[in-house]
Structure 1
Amino acid sequence: MAETKAKTPQSVDTTFTVPITKDNNSGWSCVVMEDSGEFFGTRRAVKIGGTIDGQPFEATMLPVGGGNHMIPIKAALRKLVAKEQGDEVTVHIKQRFS
């Protein structure tokens, strides 16, 4: 029988305000967290949870080089916060899942 990995949340607390941009490789709307590799201690993908402009979300932060990660922002979440590419959002990361 295969063992399933449960999400184990680890509390973190960081907040930053950045514009929503378009990732050049994927075309996704996203925000970039600078120095996230140093903050999380890895340059690999990181599963997180928190809020964007007060709306809860979970996502996988993807490394984009230089020790930074991007957080994809789904269209439904952008609609909830009434923001599009170019608009600034406040991201509060509260949990890291491992």
Structure 2
Amino acid sequence: MSTRVGPLDVSFSAPIGVTVKGDLWSCVEVPDSVELFGTGKTIKVAATVDGEPLTAGLLPTGIGGHMLSISAKLRKKLGKELGDTVAVHLSERFT
């Protein structure tokens, strides 16, 4: 567990689509994120999704984890839809 800001090296693959309050959101769930980051609050990170760089907030899922939003623009660029799997690499924690 680390609450420190700085470099990360966390990679995982996950399907696009997290159910939040009965709705399917265009996000991927970060495995073991509360243990990894030491908090359930929003965390700003640098990441790549299928090699495309982005800076984003990992949002609380509401059930004890975090999710990374995958925008419609990014999904279109990647040629991905809800349910498709993407490769995510978290490279830096800013908050």
Task: Give TM class, smaller chain.
Answer: 0.7 to 0.9
1:59 aligns with 2:59: no
Distance across 2 between alignment mates of 1:58 and 1:79: 18
Identity %: 44
Choose 50-59 or 66-75, whichever is displaced more.
66-75
Contact 1:34 1:67 in 2 (8 A): no
For 1:35 and 1:22, the matched residues in 2 are separated by 15
> How many residues get paired?
90
RMSD over aligned CA atoms reads 1.7
Contact residue 47 and residue 97 of structure 1 kept, 8 A: yes
Say which one has the larger Rg: 1
Cα separation, partners in 2 of 1:22 and 1:38, compared to 1, 3 Å = closer
Aligned-residue offset at 1:50 = 1.3
Which residue matches 1:81?
78
Give the TM-score of the pair, scaled to structure 1.
0.82
| Contact 1:23 1:29 (C-alpha < 8 Å) held by counterparts | no
Residue aligning to 1:18 = 14
- 1:34-73 equivalences under 5 Å are 34-73=31-70
TM-score with structure 2 setting the length: 0.84
Structure 2 gap ranges (5+) = none
Say whether the 8 Å CA contact 1:46–1:62 is kept in structure 2.
Answer: yes
Extract unaligned runs of 5+ from structure 1.
1-8
